[in-house]
């Protein structure tokens, strides 16, 4: 008896997979037939996908919401697609109706040629977009650095304080060192938590 499965992927743990799950449910797939990975699409070394791949048998159908949710590497996508065609497993990309191997099962080699050509074009476009996105990110970082912008995690030292915080710090630091105010009162006045406060103090004292 043939079975139908859904496979979804998000690239980070904080992304939401609900849109893909809803698409599978609208096709009538049960929750236990839906597999979701929270991993990069650079290759297919993903735990849920590999488990599902072992479950798939001839005559089964694998649904994916979109090509980029299946994968992002052109050669890897083509390799997986070829595996399913050779083993008699149907694969359907919901957002791209032409990528539905069930439509070509009676066309033999012609049907295989059609899906391979379409897949070649679409996977190439997906990879080009991924490379373009990476290039834009690289160029954006270079431009920001050229303008002197600090990228990455925010600094916690004295220079990260606002003008008002620096003024208050300079006023209160001597009082704190003279035990006229407590550290808690000091950090409350300049609105810093304990960790950030002592990092600021350390940097201040090193440059004083």
Is the domain of 29 the same as that of 101? yes
- Check: pTM over 0.75? Answer yes or no: no
pLDDT at res. 171: 87
Catalytic residues: 11
Structural domain includes residue 147: no
pLDDT at res. 113: 65
pLDDT at res. 148: 61
Is the domain of 108 the same as that of 203? no
pLDDT at res. 154: 46
Is the domain of 170 the same as that of 96? no
- Total domains in the fold of the chain: 2
Q: Could you give the CA distance from residue 97 to residue 115 in angstroms, rounded to a whole number? A: 11
Q: C-alpha angle with apex 84: 79 to 88, nearest 5 degrees?
A: 150
Q: Could you give the CA distance from residue 12 to residue 2 in angstroms, rounded to a whole number? A: 32
Q: Could you give the CA distance from residue 26 to residue 141 in angstroms, rounded to a whole number? A: 41
Neighbours of 123 (CB within 10 A): 22
Is the domain of 118 the same as that of 182? no
In tens, the pLDDT along 140-185 reads: 676 666 666 555 444 456 767 887 888 888 889 999 999 988 988 8
Is the domain of 13 the same as that of 50? yes
pLDDT at res. 162: 82
Q: Could you give the CA distance from residue 126 to residue 76 in angstroms, rounded to a whole number? A: 12
Structural domain includes residue 151: no
In tens, the pLDDT along 61-76 reads: 999 998 888 887 777 8
38 and 69 in contact (C-beta within 8 Å)? no
The proportion of the chain whose per-residue pLDDT surpasses 90, expressed as a percent, equals 27
* Domain extent at residue 50: 4-131
> What residues in the chain have per-residue pLDDT under 50?
152-155
Question: Residue 154: which residues within 8 A CB-CB, separation 6 or more?
Answer: 160
pLDDT at res. 145: 67
pLDDT at res. 163: 79
Q: Could you give the CA distance from residue 132 to residue 148 in angstroms, rounded to a whole number? A: 24
């Amino acid at each position: 008896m043939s079975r139908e499965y859904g496979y979804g992927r998000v690239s980070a743990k904080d992304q939401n997979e609900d849109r893909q799950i809803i698409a599978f449910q609208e096709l009538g797939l049960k929750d236990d037939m839906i597999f979701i990975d929270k991993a990069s699409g650079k290759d297919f070394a993903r735990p849920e996908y590999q488990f599902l791949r072992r479950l798939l048998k001839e005559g089964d159908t694998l649904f994916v919401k979109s090509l980029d949710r299946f994968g992002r590497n052109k050669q890897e996508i083509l390799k997986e697609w070829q595996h399913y065609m050779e083993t008699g497993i149907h694969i359907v990309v919901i957002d791209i109706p032409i990528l539905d191997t069930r439509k070509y099962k009676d066309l033999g080699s012609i049907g295989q040629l059609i899906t391979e050509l379409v897949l070649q074009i679409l996977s190439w476009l997906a990879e080009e977009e991924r490379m373009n996105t990476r290039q834009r990110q690289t160029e954006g970082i270079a431009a920001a650095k050229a303008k002197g912008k600090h990228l990455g995690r925010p600094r916690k030292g004295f220079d990260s304080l606002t003008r008002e915080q620096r003024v208050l710090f300079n006023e209160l630091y001597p009082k704190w060192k003279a035990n006229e105010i407590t550290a808690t009162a000091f950090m409350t006045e300049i609105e810093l938590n304990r960790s950030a406060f002592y990092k600021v103090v350390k940097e201040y004292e090193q440059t004083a």
